[in-house]
Amino acid sequence: MTSLTPADLAKKAAADAAVAFVQDGMRLGLGTGSTAAFMVKRLGERVREEGLRVVGVPTSSRTADLARAEGIRVVTLDQAGWLDVTIDGADEFDPDLTLIKGGGGAHLQEKVVAAASDRMIVITDPGKRVARLGAFPLPVEALQFGLASTIRHIGAVLTDLGCADVRITRRMAGAVPFVSDEGNAILDLHMGTIADASVLSRSLNQIPGVVENGLFINMSDLVVIGHTDGRAELIEAEPGLAEQMRAVRPRQENPFADIVG
């Protein structure tokens, strides 16, 4: 077995602790990214070893491919209808459990899936914990049509909000522009700090051409921080939430009962 780096050990610890919340019969949102990949692999182990019956709604084609390879039944969000839990990573989180996501270019699907879930568990390592968001560039998904105009509008909005010296770059995949699963461009806003995430999020999403931004506000219920020694630290949005989540039961005994297609 390949040795894991210290960073990977922390990611795996977080993923393992999060998957322990999964119960038979659940419908799950499956996140995207390196930490989420550990989560999908651990979930696959439980499916194979315990006979765990779950269905997964992936947030990217990459996650869908991995989930199928792990033996997890994959369905669309429309087929699943509603989800018990989404488990996903984050690029940053602050004391209010507000997130920056989108380092993998999948924050649009990730946000749609998380919003269709009863709970969201965020899996991270200690380096993602910050006092104020913004050191990680904020991803913004935008239509390729009129992209230069959209960038100008974003710049004007940031100026109006008093965000000086923000650099806007287009996400690249090597020598070519990165394209999301929806065929859109990803812009990275190098903010430095974000003073008011709610105002910034609303302002960006009102710009024609902007599809979605990477700020996840009031969506995280539980953050699991993995450490290199295998420990997992839980940060709850409200006291006692972790125990409530362990006690909750899926809606149906048969997770496939009303899934069509």
| pLDDT, tens only, 202-245 | 999 999 999 999 999 999 999 999 999 999 999 999 999 999 99
- pLDDT of 3: 86
According to CATH, where is 3.30.70.260 located in the chain?
138-212
Helices and strands (H, E) in the chain, number of each type = 8, 16
Any idea which architecture 138-212 has in CATH?
2-Layer Sandwich (3.30)
Q: Which fold has domain 6-129+218-247?
A: Rossmann fold (3.40.50)
Give residue-wise pLDDT tens across range 138-174. Answer: 999 999 999 999 999 999 999 999 998 999 999 999 9
Q: Is the overall model pTM greater than 0.75, yes or no? A: yes
Would the pLDDT of 184 be above 80? yes
pLDDT range class, residue 261, cuts 50, 70, 90:
very low
Query: Is 110 among the residues known to form the active site?
Result: yes
- pLDDT of 2: 64
According to CATH, where is 3.40.50.1360 located in the chain?
6-129+218-247
Ramachandran sector of residue 102 (left: φ over 0; alpha: ψ -120 to 50; beta: rest): left
Q: Which of 70, 92, 110, 212 is flagged as catalytic?
A: 110
Would the pLDDT of 247 be above 90? no
The single residue listed with the structure tokens 């995207």 is 32
Those residues whose C-beta lies under 8 Å from the C-beta of residue 46, and which sit 6 or more positions away, are 19, 22, 52
- pLDDT of 249: 75
Give residue-wise pLDDT tens across range 36-92. Answer: 999 999 999 999 999 999 999 999 999 999 999 999 999 999 999 999 999 999 999
Token pair recorded at residue 74? 């994959």
